[in-house]
Amino acid sequence: MGMQAVTQAQVKKITGSDILEEQDMLATEEPLEIRLSYYTQAGYTAKSISVTMRTPGNDLELAKGFLYTEGIISSREDVTETRHASDTNGNVVYVTLAQGVMPDIVRLERNFYTTSSCGVCGKASIEAVRTACNILDTKDHIEIPHSTIYTLPATLRAQQSVFEHTGGLHGCAIFDTTGNLVMTREDVGRHNALDKLIGAAIDNGLLPLNDHILLLSGRASFELVQKAAMAGIKVIAAVGAPSSLAVQLADEWGMTLVGFLRGERFNIYTGAQRIVI
């Protein structure tokens, strides 16, 4: 598509009273529009449903992950085609739904305009999203040694290729319950990184992710917990802090939420029964 995840910029680096001019690497941020094509009695119709600021790359996964975590699709069979528009420099993705899959257009128009910083707006409470979330049975027998949790951030950092150059991207990864990395994605928007990851899981037939651990490179927000719940994830570990609503949501849906994972320490906010000390 001719777009790169990293952009060069000329900068002045100041150290004490010294000035050095050199090239710096920035995480690329570009708009991505998602256009939905769906079947009506008059035939297929196309509608723009979302514009998000993202780092180019894995755009088709991002579109599918977004549609899944927002309850528009429930399986990869709901999508018949996902492609970049040919005349938009890679900034528009078309997603064609299977016949019989009908989106709630009124809800789409009200809720689905996003930015890289805030994610989907208009979801002020748990009640507002409960009806959209296909939360799976929370009964399980997952047990994860606390020593396994310690190893996750270093593994993610080693895989964050663009972050290594720019320091400007959020990363997330899924691991199996023994700490083996399954896949990772990164983006300037933390919600985009997770949508890309879930989109990749859809493509690889991995959903539901109820026997995996999700690692977030930053904080655990309400929206990220909601997206994880939609994918069936039971265990979330975040390097940063969780929000109060994220903790409330994880507790209500029987999820394990770990925060402030740094070195050999972390806090367990909900679901402590799954972490073996």
The secondary structure of 196-207, three-state, reads HHHHHHHHCCCC
Phi, psi values for residue 134, rounded to 5° = -90, 70
CA angle 240, 245, 250 (to 5 degrees): 80
Q: Is 262 annotated as a binding residue?
A: yes
Q: Is 232 annotated as a binding residue?
A: no
Q: Which of 118, 121, 133, 172 is catalytic?
A: 118
Burial 189-218 (b: 16+ CB within 10 A, else e): bbbbbbbbbbbbbbbeebbebeebbbbbbe
DSSP character for 273? G
Q: Is 260 annotated as a binding residue?
A: yes
Residue 118 a catalytic site member: yes
Token pair listed for 38: 């769906």
Measured in whole angstroms, the distance separating CA 24 from the mean position of its chain's CA atoms is 27
Q: Is 264 annotated as a binding residue?
A: yes
Which residues are annotated binding-site positions? 260-265
Q: Which residues are catalytically annotated?
A: 118
